[in-house]
Amino acid sequence: MDQDDQDRVRTNYRQNYDRLTTIKRQYDPTNLFRLNHNIAP
């Protein structure tokens, strides 16, 4: 996913994006569940 795609994902999730990235880092620090490319680790 390039930077443009990541910007669109951030726009779609709005204020929840930061919360989702925090949860992703906490529960999946090794990026095991990487099939969902919406949230970058």
The reported pLDDT for the residue numbered 3 is 64
Higher pLDDT, 22 or 36: 22
Q: What's the pLDDT tens digit per position in 3-25?
A: 677 788 888 888 999 998 899 89
Cα(17)–Cα(32) distance, integer angstroms? 19
The reported pLDDT for the residue numbered 19 is 93
Compute the Cα dihedral for 28, 34, 38, 41 and give only its sign.
Answer: positive
Taking the model in full, what pTM does it have?
0.61
Q: Provide the 10 A C-beta neighbour count for residue 12.
A: 10
First to last CA, the chain: 12
The reported pLDDT for the residue numbered 27 is 92
